[in-house]
Amino acid sequence: MFKRNKTEKGIESLLFVSAAVAVLTLFLLCVFLFRDGILLFKDYPLSSFLTERNWYPTSVNPRFGLLPLFLGSVIVTVGALMFAVPLGIASAIYISELASPKAAGILKPFTEILAGIPSVVFGFFGLVVLVPLIQDALDLRTGQTALTGSIMLGIMALPTIISISEDAISSVPRAIKEGSLALGSTKWQTIHKVTVPAALSGISAGVMLGIGRAIGETMTLMMVTGNTAIIPGFPSGLFEPVRTMPATIALEMGEVPQGSDHFYALFAIGSVLFIITFVINIIADHIKNRYKFKL
Amino acid sequence: MSHGRLKIVSVFSIALLLMISVFMGIGCVDSNEVTDNTSDNENAGSSGITVKGSDTVLPLSQAEAEDFMMENSDKRVTVIGGGSGVGIAALIDGEIEIAMASREMKGSEIEAARQNGIEPIEHTIAWDGIAVVVNPENPVSQLTYEQLQGIYDGNISNWKDVGGEDRQIAVITRDSSSGTYEYFKEEILVDREYRPDALVQPATGGIVEEVSRNEGAIGYIGFAYLDGSTKAVALDGGEGYVEATEENILSGTYPLSRPLYYYTNGEPQGDTKEFIDFVMSPTGQAVVSEIGYFPAE
């Protein structure tokens, strides 16, 4: 009897420790990022970091401006969402409500395969196929633009949005749908006035996760956006090259002298990325709970 | 009540124990690394050597490493790219035996190395030319240094200003960890900055890709990366237009030619010495020519 109790407690503590490791890792990551990021502001004012319009880390008077990089990330993500959200929700609706079981059985695995393709493969495809296509179709200086990045990013965020939205839509209780149909609505009316609003919390969670993936995407964007650190206009900025925050870190981390201002500036950018992802996750959670469909 | 308390205390103490051991582990790893630096050279022989750095020197090092390992089947040479800056940073950290670079180490890097107990020694293993390339369809085939500077610092933005078609110039550069980037900046831009709207490619291969597909593009690449997909322009550095050919680089008339370096920590010993001796031998220098670079005198 005594031994059984001890075994129980032992297993409980083991499981607790496993869960604690995840929280500990996140905490340590946070500390690691912020510790080195804060050191930038010893020599370089925070206000300059936030408002400076240029990113010249290696010149004689280095200037570390977050704005062009942040806005680059934003414009690419907004473009990706404009492409992926309507397409994703529409696909999810088709797969869960309108497709025959055989068609759904083919479509769903294919979207999951799309999620498994490595991002560098997307980048390669973008560089070799999409970039010349866009340059010729729109007669631009170069095809390496925010638009190209948005399209690739949209393709990459699509499986996440489809998967989660599809799950949300299929878990709307049948009683609701059948009640709507029984009252005389058509199938489409049921879908767009009853089912989708009921699944809204899950769909928004899916969109938020898609955003999270888009903001942090490094390799693909580094290969197709041209990496020029200038502030993009909207919408003209879509047809010009941009640079995203993760691409900056990837491009410059290799050579930067340890302990220099440039080094700390890269960590500061990493911290900003961390904060953005954290905030997005909190908002996603909040939305999910607020719009939860209660029977 | 004491039952619940006992549970909390035991769970908490196990978690605490785990965290303490994790932090102790981190501490132990750190102190070991510092003492290992000085004995690195002796240990290098038994586990193979690593050559890291410039993308320009990369094809050369790969070919040399392959031939070296074919002749000495018990030795291992690992070759990694990433840019001159990446290799030098790794040498300063004591992680590798040889840093390959297409530029000299800066004063600040040499100081940082010495602070870490590393004494960098420079070996010139080959010479390289930088080719300025444009799309094969581009009618422009020659540029002066002033025109090139204007293109790269932002003053000239249309091909018609340098004798070409009416088309916007897509200026392409490497990222700042590239030795080629630094060398080009020193030689052509001198004290100016690269134009802010220049496209930044993370690798020379990316530059070749974009220039071969984009009719308005211009970029700079190591001579070994020249193939039929791009066209090199003749450069005028003040002494007339000189084509980017082998004879011109070997004779020294082509203005953009530079030495390629291997940096080691102190005088090379063991496998590192054998590898560098191999590279400098007639067999190794013949490989240099095969790859498309030029033997060190």
Edge-to-edge strand ranges of the sheet holding B234-236? B142-144, B234-236, B241-242
Does the pLDDT value for residue B212 go beyond 80? yes
CA gap A157, A163 in Å, rounded: 10
Read off the pLDDT of residues A204-215 as tens digits, 9 standing for 90 and up.
Answer: 888 988 888 888
Provide the pLDDT confidence category of residue B10 given band limits of 50, 70 and 90: confident
DSSP string, chain B: -HHHHHHHHHHHHHHHHHHHHHHHHHHHHHHHHHHHTTTHHHHHHHH-EEEEE-TTTHHHHHHHHHHHHHH-TT--EEEE-S-HHHHHHHHHTT--SEEEESSPPPHHHHHHHHHTT--EEEEEEEEEEEEEEE-TT-S--EEEHHHHHHHHHTS--BGGGGTS-S-B-EEEEE-TT-HHHHHHIIIIITTSPPPTT-EEESSHHHHHHHHHH-TTEEEEEEGGG--TTSEEPEEESSS-EE---HHHHHHT-SSSEEEEEEEEESS--HHHHHHHHHHHSHHHHHHHHHHT-EE--
Tell me the average pLDDT across B166-180.
85
Pick the residue of B52, B111, B192, B199 with the most A CBs within 10 A to test the interface with A by mutation.
B199
Read off the pLDDT of residues B92-108 as tens digits, 9 standing for 90 and up.
Answer: 988 999 999 988 888 88
How many other β-carbons are positioned within 10 Å of the β-carbon of residue A289?
10
Express as a percent the part of chain A with pLDDT over 90.
41
In a 3-state reduction of DSSP, which class is residue A222?
Answer: helix
Gyration radius from chain B CA atoms: 24
B4 - beta bridge partners?
Answer: none
Mean of pLDDT over chain A: 88
> Nearest-CA neighbor of A212 among A116, A120, A124, A276?
A276
Structure tokens at A182: 């029984």
Provide the pLDDT confidence category of residue B33 given band limits of 50, 70 and 90: very low
Does the pLDDT value for residue B77 go beyond 60? yes
In a 3-state reduction of DSSP, which class is residue A240?
Answer: coil
> Nearest-CA neighbor of B89 among A24, A30, A139, A262?
A262
Terminal-residue alpha carbon distance, chain B: 86
Q: Which among B11, B108, B175 is the nearest to A257, CB-wise?
A: B108
Q: What integer pLDDT is reported at residue B32 of this predicted model?
A: 43
A residues 257-276 closer than 8 Å to B (CB): 257-258
B128 - beta bridge partners?
Answer: B258
* Chain A, nearest residue to B18 by Cα: A17
Tell me the average pLDDT across B20-25.
74
CA gap B260, B127 in Å, rounded: 6
Is residue A190 within 8 A of residue A220, CB to CB? The reply is: no
Domains, chain B, with CATH or none: 49-127+259-295 (3.40.190.10), 129-257 (3.40.190.10)
CA gap B248, B251 in Å, rounded: 5
The answer, yes or no, to whether the previous bond of A257 is cis (omega within 30 of 0) is no
CA atoms within 13 A on the CB side of B244: 28
CA gap B178, B87 in Å, rounded: 10
Gyration radius from chain A CA atoms: 23
Tokens 């930038």 locate to A40
Pick the residue of B116, B175, B178 with the most A CBs within 10 A to test the interface with A by mutation.
B175
Structure tokens at B263: 């940096």
A273 - beta bridge partners?
Answer: none
Looking at the complex, does the CB of residue B160 fall below 8 Å from at least one CB of chain A?
Answer: no
Tell me the average pLDDT across A55-59.
81
Provide the pLDDT confidence category of residue B249 given band limits of 50, 70 and 90: confident
Pick the residue of A255, A256, A262, A263 with the most B CBs within 10 A to test the interface with B by mutation.
A255
Read off the pLDDT of residues A222-279 as tens digits, 9 standing for 90 and up.
Answer: 989 988 888 888 778 888 899 999 999 988 887 676 777 888 999 999 999 999 988 9
Q: Which among B14, B196, B217 is the nearest to A230, CB-wise?
A: B196
DSSP 8-state symbol, A56: E
Q: Across the interface, do B176 and A24 touch by the CB < 8 Å criterion?
A: no
Structure tokens at A276: 């953005």
Max mean pLDDT range (A73-77, B17-21, B101-105): A73-77
Structure tokens at A269: 């950018």
In degrees to the nearest 10, what's the CA dihedral of A101, A103, A106, A107?
Answer: -110
A residues 110-169 closer than 8 Å to B (CB): 127-128, 131-132, 135, 141-144
In a 3-state reduction of DSSP, which class is residue A116?
Answer: helix
CA atoms within 13 A on the CB side of A37: 20
CA distance B21 to chain A (A): 13
CA distance B295 to chain A (A): 28
Residues of chain B neighbouring A229 (CB-CB closer than 8 A) = 196
Q: What integer pLDDT is reported at residue B44 of this predicted model?
A: 43
Residues of chain A neighbouring B168 (CB-CB closer than 8 A) = 141
Looking at the complex, does the CB of residue B202 fall below 8 Å from at least one CB of chain A?
Answer: yes
Q: Across the interface, do A255 and B88 touch by the CB < 8 Å criterion?
A: yes
Q: Across the interface, do B177 and A226 touch by the CB < 8 Å criterion?
A: no
Q: Which among B175, B198, B214 is the nearest to A135, CB-wise?
A: B214
Looking at the complex, does the CB of residue B54 fall below 8 Å from at least one CB of chain A?
Answer: no
Does the pLDDT value for residue A43 go beyond 50? yes
Structure tokens at B231: 């066209």
CA gap A241, A227 in Å, rounded: 6
Residues of chain B neighbouring A54 (CB-CB closer than 8 A) = 196
CA distance B286 to chain A (A): 31
Residues of chain B neighbouring A132 (CB-CB closer than 8 A) = 213-214
Cβ-defined contacts of B158-164 (< 8 Å, 24+): B159/B216, B163/B139, B164/B138, B164/B139, B164/B140
CA gap A249, B224 in Å, rounded: 28
pTM of the model: 0.75
Q: Which among B15, B202, B213 is the nearest to A20, CB-wise?
A: B15
Express as a percent the part of chain B with pLDDT over 90.
24
CA gap A145, A49 in Å, rounded: 25
Q: What integer pLDDT is reported at residue B294 of this predicted model?
A: 85
Q: Which among A17, A141, A255 is the nearest to B89, CB-wise?
A: A255
Cα distances (angstroms) measured from residue A60 to each of A63, A219, B191: 9, 29, 10
Helices of type H across chain A: 2-38, 46-51, 66-93, 101-116, 119-125, 131-138, 146-170, 174-182, 187-190, 196-198, 200-216, 219-224, 245-252, 261-290
Q: What integer pLDDT is reported at residue B297 of this predicted model?
A: 67
Does the pLDDT value for residue A9 go beyond 60? yes
Q: What is the 3-state secondary structure (H, E, C) of A170-216?
A: HCCCHHHHHHHHHCCCCHHHHHHHHHHHHCHHHHHHHHHHHHHHHHH
Q: Across the interface, do B199 and A250 touch by the CB < 8 Å criterion?
A: no
Does the pLDDT value for residue A79 go beyond 60? yes
Q: What integer pLDDT is reported at residue A238 of this predicted model?
A: 85
**B267 exposed, middle or buried (CB, 10 Å; 0-12, 13-18, 19+)?**
exposed
